[in-house]
Amino acid sequence: MLKITTVDTLIIILMFAFLPVDMVNGILLMNGINLPISFSQLFKLVILALLLTRLLFTIKLFISASIVIFILLIPSIYQVFHDPEDSSVFLDFIKISKYLTPFICFLFFVDALKHSKDKIYPLMLSLVKFSYVVLVLNIFVKYIGLGYPAYKSGGMGSKGYFYAGNEISALLIILCSIIAFRLWNKGLKTKYFVFLALNLMAGLTISSKTGILGILLVFFIIPFQGKSLNLKRFFPLIVGAMCLLPLALLFSWQFITNSAIMVRIEFFYEKLDFWTFILSSRNVFLDNSFEVYLNEYNFIEKIIGVGQTKFELLNNSKVVEMDIMDIFFAYGVLGLFVFITMLAFVLVQAKVFHRTNRRPYANLILMMVIILIIISTFAGHVFGSGMSAIFIGILFSLMYVKSYIKNTTLLYLDGSFNK
């Protein structure tokens, strides 16, 4: 009989193919090869099935996951009886899996760490590093004439060989935050700022406001994690930041003005009002969706939602691209309550761990939960991102990693063990 740790290891090893499979899927879709269920969706459903099977070893976790799945499927089941022609439980389950996977991955990694920290933790870090390299290489292949532009108009930005270019920024922020946190805590300050420059360049290459601002915010906050504000101690950092920030802004501005991004900015700024420009028309999508909600939903649907398939059908195949609102319109008050409850749990748990010195990642998670909520609220494509799903689970589960001496075993942030 396989040991739990062996099963966990095999599942995580399979996750190394997560982004490469997305690349293959992107190439197929960009060349007009549309399968009944995409290559990427099939792979992610296999991963999800394996995760749910693994949770059977810890029945409480399996029951928790099953309850969440059932709640999110309630509107789809209702539509089968209310409007069978415009509903599909199968398609809805595929779309629900995007919201489910971060939560189920979180449960999986937390439980896996409890069973074997010495094997699982280093493997998780290796998965983060490998995936970061795959992502950044895809972003930068633009400079050798490969990959696909993030925006069709003018060939602006870069998404490499991935299809969902609007999900890349959040993934970059998640992966680089983990690596940057480790660099800073290991005292590798020079590498930290070089890494900042690399990620800022990646954000500019994507041509994403979210990516650029998110990266600057993460790298600015990490040095102050869990520290008392001792000006003498942080004086060199503050001076360095004051010097580097103008340089970073100048470099970014020069990059933007000399690229096709400026044309896009000028076009949208002239055509749209300030908030529509800043939110990339998401406020317009929100107004339209709210009108549909008021006029097309019956009383029950306003409570439980209509499911993702029916929501997109009523909304001319558009979504708001604000995660909280998309969840509300598709899964109703009930679905939104479940989503907020899950985030609140992570936030509260990180806050509790933040008070001790035994959980080195707690400060990072506390910061990242808040940042990701802000990004998901105003830019979307975070908690409903198929690309980011497992990495959100990894990120949140890291707060359960302890830094302590027990049975003569010392756990370091770099994933190594000293016995």
- Cα atoms in the 13 Å half-sphere on the side-chain side of 152: 3
Tokens of 72: 């999110």
Q: What is the pLDDT of residue 403?
A: 73
Tokens of 364: 């990072």
R_g of the chain computed on alpha carbons: 22
The CA-to-CA distance between both ends of the chain, in Å, stands at: 29
**3-state SS assignment for residue 410:** strand
Q: What is the pLDDT of residue 230?
A: 47
Alpha-carbon torsion angle 266, 268, 274, 275, nearest 10: -140
The CA-atom distances, in angstroms, between 47 and each of 19, 36, 390 are 13, 19, 10
Q: What is the pLDDT of residue 86?
A: 72
Alpha carbon 234 to chain centroid distance?
31
The answer to whether 148 touches 188, Cβ cutoff 8 Å, is: no
Which residues does 211 contact at the CB level (< 8 Å), separation at least 6? 168, 169, 172, 173, 202, 203
Q: What is the pLDDT of residue 32?
A: 87
DSSP-assigned letter for residue 223: G
Residues 419 and 413: their CA atoms lie apart, in Å, by: 15
* pLDDT averaged per 10 residues in sequence order, the chain, 419 residues: 83 96 94 87 94 93 93 92 81 89 96 88 97 97 90 77 90 97 92 93 87 90 66 53 58 56 58 62 83 92 91 86 90 93 94 87 93 89 91 96 53 44
Tokens of 158: 């870069």
Q: What is the pLDDT of residue 368?
A: 95
Q: What is the pLDDT of residue 331?
A: 93
Tally Cβ neighbours within 10 Å of residue 270. Answer: 8
The answer to whether 312 touches 319, Cβ cutoff 8 Å, is: yes
Q: In this structure, which amino acid lies at residue 380? A: G
Residues 330 and 224: their CA atoms lie apart, in Å, by: 38
Q: What is the pLDDT of residue 1?
A: 45
| Helical pair 231-257 and 209-221, crossing angle rounded to 10 deg | 160
Domain that holds residue 31: 4-418
Q: In this structure, which amino acid lies at residue 361? A: Y
Residues belonging to the chain: 419
Tally of structural domains, the chain: 1
Alpha carbon 158 to chain centroid distance?
18
The CA-atom distances, in angstroms, between 65 and each of 49, 155, 218 are 12, 42, 31
Where are the strands (E) in 121-269, listed by range?
none
148 DSSP β-pair partners = 160
> Which of 280, 277, 172, 190 shows the shortest CA–CA distance to 236?
190
